[in-house]
A and B are shown apart, each in its own frame.
Chain A
Amino acid sequence: MPFIDVLGAWIAIFITFCILSYLYDDNPFYKLAEHLFVGTSVGYSLVLQWFGTVKPNLVDRLTASELGAARFVYLVPCALVLCLFMKLTNRYNWMGRLAIAFVIGIYAGQNIPAYANSDLLTQIYVTTREVFTSGDKPLSDIIGIVVLVVGVVASLMYFFLSREHKGWFGRMSKVGIWVLMIGFGASFGYTVQGRISLAIGVAMDVLDISRPAAEARQVHGPVVSAISIAIIAVGLIWMRRRGTRTPPERDTHPPSN
């Protein structure tokens, strides 16, 4: 592993702890890491978008003489892009709406039929087929189908607001609330699992567990982690002491009555 990669790993560990320091309080170490992240992300994305999208799809095609006059059709998307930038001006910002209308139209045309097909029609078909398909089914499947159908109907009734939720309708909508709550609970459980998994991944990185043994021997993750924590802790203590010694800023606003 070349030294530059080892140095990169050290910086990564230090910046990881800078980000984690936000859990204690907002501080300059966190701000440094945050700004670095935003800057590198924007830089990376810009370069990638230019060389991966704008250059091959627009610049290269506009300058390709073998395409003849047909290449000038690419001036249309180019004009739409320029229209988008007109949003930055006060006088011509209406031109941006042309490009936005084009994008919304394309997305709506692309997504509405796809969504209706996969999330509505196919889901209804699959649910009803489960219910009406005959054949030997184990008891667990039958219970599952009953729960599915009752859950779907009750949840829909909860959102039916044109009738007062009283009597049998009210009781069914209460079942609907329970079904929704169980759904939210499952989502919360999975979210917790996901967040802890990410924390585990970070811990594996800083403790060298996710690195091959040869690389781990060069990086010394646990040692670098300890040094990083020490630097940040000393920095925070120093800044806090310095902060308390600094006289509070004079209030320039007049007192309000």
Chain B
Amino acid sequence: MKLAWEKLQSFDRRWLFLAMGLAIALPLMFEFTMPFTTSPRVRALYDEIETLPPGTQVLLAIDYDPASKPELEPFARAVLRQLLLRRCRVVLMTLWDKAPPIVMALIEDIIEGEHDRHRGLFEGRDDPPLRYGVDYVFFGFKEGKEIVIAGLGQSFRQIYPADYRERPVGQLPIMNGINRLSDFPLIVEVSAGFPGTKEWVQQVVTRYGLRYAAATTSVSVTELSPYYPRQMFSLVGGMRGAAEYEKLVGQVGLATRGLNVLTVGHVVIVLAITMGNVIYFKTRKRKRGAR
């Protein structure tokens, strides 16, 4: 027994990596579902969008790169679907240089693939295909981080004189009546870090009292929680928050499927932490006894 504890203390951590790999891969192969509830933090955004009248211009800032896709993309897809179901007009932009291909894929999959072809949640609806520049627009990437955010608060058109396709902003009907951020009835940001939610809140949300909601990676949730609910009325955190949003929108997606696996992964981590502590205290007790 004495030797066993000693051996466990020098346990090769690669076995733990293997256990975690299996804990993720196996539940994905054998699909199962676990119940979960939606939190007020997430429901606030869903309820807000449900009250928006058709034609409302909503700014959707996609500030993440491929590294954070698993956590944030399911939410981005779910919220875009809901906005289109409510017939809102969507203005897309990004402050991350690696995000434009992600936004183009969103447009291709959700707007052109699902909405315009009446697939998925849009099945059975008689909505005409959405027109670029009228129903949706993408303004592309802009370098400058928080300076750009502050500039958008003063003049959107000065920061973005043209869209991603080099069309002047004056020729885009979707931008009628929009001169600065405060002209948007709702701003939704999907953020993986810097520049992201913190900079939006600091530079423009607090200053201009904007109606602002954010979806962030799990790592950022504790840091951003003090802003909820006064400076941002909704905070969707990580894959769990995205799964809640998918549930509200009514389409089981990758986040819902991933959430079940997440639970198994957490069990492995908790077991590893417990085991590590037990080994530590057992060996410490014996060392003290030996003295």
Give A residues with C-beta under 8 Å from B: 23-24, 44-45, 48-49, 52-53, 106, 110-111, 114-115, 117-119, 122-123, 126, 183, 186-187, 190-194, 196-204, 207, 209-210
Contacts and interface: CB of A to CB of B under 8 A. Distances in A.
B143 A209 contact: no
Contacts of A203: 24-25, 28, 261
B201 A118 contact: yes
Contact of A44 (B68, B98, B240, B254): B98
Interface residues of B, number: 50
B11 to A, nearest CB: 15
Given A111-B202, A114-B150, A194 B28 contact: no
B222 A187 contact: yes
A105 to B, nearest CB: 12
Contacts of A117: 202, 206-207
B196 interface: no
A201 B230 contact: no
A90 to B, nearest CB: 30
Q: B interface, by DSSP: helix, strand, loop or mixed?
A: helix
B150 A110 contact: yes
Contacts of A192: 266, 269
A197 B262 contact: yes
Given A197-B218, A201-B71, 18 more contacts: A49-B143, A52-B140, A53-B143, A114-B150, A118-B201, A118-B202, A118-B207, A190-B219, A193-B266, A194-B71, A197-B238, A198-B68, A198-B71, A199-B265, A202-B70, A203-B28, A207-B29, A209-B254
User: Which of A23, A45, A118 has the most chain B CB within a 10 Å cutoff?
Assistant: A118
Interface of B: 14, 17, 20-21, 24-25, 28-29, 67-71, 97-98, 140-143, 146-147, 150, 201-203, 205-207, 217-219, 221-223, 226-227, 230-231, 237-240, 254, 257-258, 261-262, 265-266, 269
A183 B221 CA distance: 11
Contact of B14 (A23, A194, A199, A209): A23
B261 A200 contact: yes
Contacts of B207: 114, 117-118
17 contacts: A52-B140, A52-B142, A111-B202, A114-B203, A118-B207, A186-B222, A190-B237, A192-B269, A193-B266, A194-B217, A197-B218, A197-B262, A199-B21, A200-B70, A203-B261, A209-B28, A209-B254
Contacts of A122: 206, 230-231
A191 B218 contact: yes
Contacts of B28: 200, 203-204, 207, 209
Given A110-B147, A201-B258, A123 B70 contact: no
B48 to A, nearest CB: 20
Given A23-B14, A118-B231, A193 B146 contact: no
A63 to B, nearest CB: 17
B205 A193 contact: no
Given A52-B143, A110-B147, A122-B206, A197 B71 contact: yes
B31 to A, nearest CB: 9
Nearest to A186: B222
A157 to B, nearest CB: 19
A197 to B, nearest CB: 4
A45 B207 CA distance: 32
